[in-house]
Amino acid sequence: MRRVAPLGGVTVQDHVALAEIELCGELIIAASAAEDRLSLESIDQVLRVGETRTEPGDG
């Protein structure tokens, strides 16, 4: 039996999943715009590796 979420305007937000989807989209855009394969440094830059992240409610 398959269960389906109700349609009554109920939304579920998973902020981590949404952030991952956004980063994947940015990586796909960068890869499609590149003439060659992206270097590891380019991938890190697109994925903002090493940047300080703030959690919701901080600051």
Q: Which amino acid is at 4?
A: V
Cα distance between residue 12 and residue 28, in whole Å: 25
- On whether the CB atoms of residues 27 and 47 are closer than 8 A, the answer is yes
Q: Both tokens of residue 54?
A: 């703030």
- In the block, tokens 């440094």 appear at 41
* Residue 37, pLDDT score: 94
Instruction: Record the pTM.
Output: 0.60
Is the Cβ–Cβ distance between 27 and 46 less than 8 Å? yes
Q: Do residues 29 and 21 make contact, with C-beta atoms less than 8 angstroms apart?
A: no
Residues of the chain where predicted confidence (pLDDT) is lower than 50: none
